[in-house]
């Protein structure tokens, strides 16, 4: 049995489709809302919250392989519950910032989870993706309303990754030999700026999408109310304010692991145009 957490999210939903397409199974998806989850046919939806470790018992029963998205609950306790339930292998979604911005709070938290997994006694594979193409969904409401997209660091280029590529790597790690004890830094195929992302979404929609760069301060005020001061600063640093060569680097890990090249941002935009259409 494979348990996928974040089953309704960007990576998890793509991973369940991938696993189904490759005939892997049996499969289970964790969600807080079984009725609304809409998981693929053949996937057992099981209720539970990562924030409430005791609630995970039904989902973990009989599981040998666990796909875990980090930082949605007390990860060390979740790993302990998984080990007690008999889980043998965990594929963990961490973050590339563990190796590019280790001084930031969220990166240090991910590193602590990675270390807890490595010392858990279970087999492990760690995925360290860079920023997701799906982060541009934060502009969806503005674009649907034909309003201007506002973003800081408009021309900072990062090799944004399609979540389906993270899912493809996870599927291989979960179902094929040779990936235990490996840490994979994952990026897309080419650097893309916020301005270029908006242009790609505009191209997918077949119309203009106005774009205006805003200051760090303006972006920070909007983000801090939702995520808090420290997290807002960390996000702004890694999306443009404090870039370095390591986070800018394009890596071929997706192709090395899956045999297929990583998908460009424009493909993600074309596949997800409906989310931006009014």
Ligand X SMILES: NC(=O)c1ccc[n+]([C@@H]2O[C@H](COP(=O)([O-])OP(=O)(O)OC[C@H]3O[C@@H](n4cnc5c(N)ncnc54)[C@H](OP(=O)(O)O)[C@@H]3O)[C@@H](O)[C@H]2O)c1
Positions of E strands within 54-173 = 65-69, 89-93, 123-129, 149-151
**Minimum distance between the CB of residue 131 and ligand X, rounded to whole angstroms?**
4
Using CB under 6 A as the binding rule, whether residue 50 contacts ligand X is answered as yes
**78-107 residues near ligand X, rule: CB under 6 A:** 93, 95
Using CB under 6 A as the binding rule, whether residue 73 contacts ligand X is answered as yes
**Minimum distance between the CB of residue 208 and ligand X, rounded to whole angstroms?**
26
Q: Which two tokens stand for residue 129?
A: 């993706």
Binds ligand X (CB under 6 A): choice among 2, 3, 4, 6:
6
- Binding segment for ligand X (CB under 6 A), chosen from 7-15, 168-176, 185-193, 256-264, is 7-15
The smaller minimum CB distance to ligand X, of residues 10 and 65, is found at 10
- Report the distance separating Cα 127 and Cα 244, nearest Å: 20
Distance of CA 148 to the CA centre of its chain: 26
**Minimum distance between the CB of residue 254 and ligand X, rounded to whole angstroms?**
14
> 26 preceded by cis ω (within 30°)?
yes
Q: Which residues pair with 27 in a beta bridge?
A: 2, 43
Using CB under 6 A as the binding rule, whether residue 69 contacts ligand X is answered as yes
**Minimum distance between the CB of residue 180 and ligand X, rounded to whole angstroms?**
21
Beta carbons of 211 and 124 less than 8 angstroms apart: no
- Report the distance separating Cα 3 and Cα 122, nearest Å: 15
The smaller minimum CB distance to ligand X, of residues 12 and 204, is found at 12
**Cα separations in angstroms, 171 against 2, 64, 164, 252:** 10, 14, 10, 17
Distance of CA 125 to the CA centre of its chain: 15
Using CB under 6 A as the binding rule, whether residue 49 contacts ligand X is answered as yes
Beta carbons of 45 and 31 less than 8 angstroms apart: yes
**10-39 residues near ligand X, rule: CB under 6 A:** 10-12, 30-33, 37
What would the x/- binding string for ligand X be over residues 121 to 140, using CB under 6 A? --------x-xx-xx-----
- Binding segment for ligand X (CB under 6 A), chosen from 47-55, 187-195, 207-215, 255-263, is 47-55
- Binding segment for ligand X (CB under 6 A), chosen from 65-73, 81-89, 116-124, 199-207, is 65-73
Task: Supply the DSSP string of 146-172, one letter for each residue.
Answer: TPPEEESSTT--B--B-HHHHHHHHHH
- Report the distance separating Cα 160 and Cα 91, nearest Å: 21
The smaller minimum CB distance to ligand X, of residues 12 and 258, is found at 12
Using CB under 6 A as the binding rule, whether residue 253 contacts ligand X is answered as no
Q: Tokens 């993706």, residue?
A: 129
Residue nearest to ligand X (CB): 9
- Report the distance separating Cα 113 and Cα 145, nearest Å: 40
Q: Where does this chain bind ligand X (CB under 6 A)?
A: 6-12, 30-33, 37, 49-51, 69-73, 93, 95, 129, 131-132, 134-135, 163
């Amino acid at each position: 049995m494979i348990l996928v957490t974040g089953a309704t999210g960007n990576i998890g939903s793509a991973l369940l489709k991938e696993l189904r397409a490759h005939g892997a199974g049996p499969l289970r998806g964790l969600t807080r809302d079984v009725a609304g989850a809409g998981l693929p046919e053949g996937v057992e939806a099981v209720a539970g919250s990562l924030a409430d470790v005791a609630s995970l018992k039904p989902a973990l029963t009989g599981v040998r392989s666990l796909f875990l998205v980090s930082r949605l609950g007390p990860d060390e306790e979740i790993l302990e519950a998984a080990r007690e339930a008999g889980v043998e292998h965990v594929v963990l979604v961490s973050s590339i910032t563990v190796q590019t911005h280790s001084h930031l709070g969220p990166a240090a938290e991910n590193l602590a989870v990675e270390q807890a997994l490595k010392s858990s006694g279970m087999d492990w594979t760690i995925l360290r993706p860079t920023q997701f193409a799906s982060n541009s969904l934060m502009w969806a409401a503005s674009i649907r309303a034909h309003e201007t997209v506002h973003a800081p660091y408009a021309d900072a280029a990062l090799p944004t990754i399609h979540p389906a590529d993270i899912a493809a790597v996870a599927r291989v790690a979960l179902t094929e030999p040779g990936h235990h004890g490996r840490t994979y830094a994952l990026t897309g195929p080419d650097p893309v700026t916020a301005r270029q992302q908006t242009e790609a979404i505009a191209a997918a929609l077949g119309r203009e999408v106005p774009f205006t760069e805003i200051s760090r301060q303006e972006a920070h005020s909007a983000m801090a109310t939702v995520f808090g001061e420290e997290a807002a600063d960390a996000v702004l640093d890694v999306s443009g304010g404090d870039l370095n060569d390591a986070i800018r680097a394009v890596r071929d890990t997706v192709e090395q692991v899956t045999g297929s090249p990583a998908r460009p941002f424009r493909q993600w935009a074309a596949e997800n145009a409906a989310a931006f259409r009014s």
